[in-house]
Amino acid sequence: MNTFTFKEMLADQNWLSKLAIGTSVNLTALLVFLFNPLFLPLSVIMGGITNGYLLRVMRTYIKGSKELPEWDQFVDLMISGISWLAVTLFFQFGGLALLALFLTQGVASGSTFVASKGFTNWGMTTFLSVYCYFVLTSFFTSILMANFAQEESMKSGFQWLKVSIRMMRAPGKFLVVWLAGLSLIFLASFLPGLTFIGLIISPFLTFLAQVVQARMIALVWRETAKPGEEPSDSAASAALSS
């Protein structure tokens, strides 16, 4: 499936330049933050722009457009991207709340001390619970992102029941594309760094992997749609024009 979506993307004559723009924005956001952490708001804005573009990639591919969308209307990209980051931040806070709950319980029972008898059980339970939470939310939010991209509204980021029902129609496919996307991003981010030349092209390969993952998830989301679940014609036209 990833080969299928990648070949379709290559049909766009400007695919290389579009990916280069996203790579440049991501890399600039990272360098700005490393230069001075006080520039974090600027990095977040630039990260919002690239996330907004990934949402646009999903939206246009759900509607059947094989070409990558254009880089334009940067304010819209920033708003949609930062809105999506806010949704994902909600899930991150959930993980932190879970960790705080286990820490509070551990302190109250005295299990946080290495010498205590319950330290091993408490530590393993805490680690596995928090780890499983972030794994499950990573899978769920990757599918939720498709709904957010299609609906283009803040409330769509909290339509968890709707997304869960959609996932149940093809859980295997959604799981496969999520795992494939994570694998591509991991390989693109870390393996090229083993060599100097690979380190240079790693940001480009990482953004390419993110785009491929977005298109794979959008493809399964489109395949699992039922009549009446597609956006209206006016919304579709707006999505394609953007």
3-state secondary structure the chain: CHHHHHHHHHCCCCHHHHHHHHHHHHHHHHHHHHHCHHHHHHHHHHHHHHHHHHHHHHHHHHCCCCCCCCCCCHHHHHHHHHHHHHHHHHHHHHHHHHHHHHHHHHHHHCCCCCCCCCHHHHHHHHHHHHHHHHHHHHHHHHHHHHHHHHHCCHHHHHCHHHHHHHHHHCHHHHHHHHHHHHHHHHHHHHHHHHCHHHHHHHHHHHHHHHHHHHHHHHHHHHHCCCCCCCCCHHHHHHHHHC
pLDDT at 238: 42
Angle between helices 15-35 and 40-62 (to 10 degrees): 160
CA gap 91, 138 in Å, rounded:
9
Lowest mean pLDDT among 46-60, 70-84, 141-155, 184-198: 184-198
pLDDT at 13: 83
The yes-or-no verdict on residue 217 having pLDDT over 60 is yes
Angle between helices 40-62 and 119-151 (to 10 degrees): 60
The yes-or-no verdict on residue 141 having pLDDT over 90 is yes
The yes-or-no verdict on residue 11 having pLDDT over 50 is yes
The larger pLDDT score, comparing residue 182 to residue 190, is at 182
pLDDT at 233: 42
Q: How far are the Cα atoms of 92, 103, 108, 214 from residue 61, in angstroms, in the given order?
A: 28, 44, 51, 9
Percent of the chain with pLDDT over 70: 91
The yes-or-no verdict on residue 51 having pLDDT over 90 is yes
- Average confidence (pLDDT) over 152-174: 91
By three-state DSSP, how is residue 37 classified? helix
pLDDT at 42: 93
- The mean of the pLDDT values for the chain is 86
pLDDT at 146: 94
pLDDT tens-digit profile of 66-121? 889 999 999 999 999 999 999 999 999 999 999 999 999 888 888 777 777 878 88
